[in-house]
Amino acid sequence: MIELVGEQTIARQRGHLEGVKTFAGLRRWRNAVIERNAVEQGRYGCALGSLANEFSDQDAVARQQLDELFTTWHQLFVDVIRRFQQERLIPHDADVDRLATGFVAAVQGGYLLAQTSRDVAPMATAIDMAIDHLRLLGAATD
């Protein structure tokens, strides 16, 4: 089940993130994530996050599979941020790994807040803050 859900989740994220190299593209990804989660008012959260909560402390193999999926998702954000550096939208010395970790955390935290409140507004805020941070990094180099 972890492989199936994980592959579907990563494939969907890859489809949205692979071509992102502008803030407009990142905004489109953000809107797609929020819209998809809003369908059920955030009721189901993130499939990967739910699986991690369910299995990480009970099954070492499942935890490793989930860690690999989160690492793959993290890498999708690393790739986006590197494209931003290539496009000179953010500084070349920005800590790409740290920024990507922040994006994964913002999305996961946003899913959890939306799920518990049945409102995607906190999720939108969390993701918007991650995007705004990138914008501020870029503005600092202007």
Domains and CATH numbers, the chain: 2-140 (1.10.357.10)
pLDDT over 70 for what percent of the chain? 99
Question: pTM for the whole thing?
Answer: 0.91
Dist CA 19 CA 101 (whole Å): 19
pLDDT of residue 86 exceeding 80, the answer is: yes
Q: Which among 29, 73, 86, 95 has a CA at the least distance from the CA of 37?
A: 29
What is the DSSP annotation of 57-124?
TT-HHHHHHHHHHHHHHHHHHHHHHHHHHHTTSS-TTS-HHHHHHHHHHHHHHHHHHHHHHT-SHHHH
The answer on pLDDT for 107 being more than 90 is: yes
Q: Which of 45-49, 64-68, 87-91, 112-116 has the lowest mean pLDDT?
A: 45-49
Predicted confidence at residue 141, as pLDDT, reads 67
- CA-to-CA distance for 18 and 121, rounded, in angstroms? 25
Give the model's confidence band at 6: pLDDT under 50 very low, under 70 low, under 90 confident, else very high. Answer: confident
Q: Which residue has the higher pLDDT, 49 or 85?
A: 85
Average pLDDT over residues 21-42: 92
Dihedral sign from CA coordinates of 63, 36, 74, 98? negative
Name the token pair of 30. 């953000």
Contact between 85 and 94 under an 8 Å Cβ cutoff? The reply is yes
pLDDT tens readout for residues 44-61: 777 777 777 777 788 888
Task: Give the pLDDT of residue 53.
Answer: 75
Examine the pLDDT at 41 and tell me if it is beyond 90.
Answer: no
Number of H helices, E strands in the chain: 6, 0
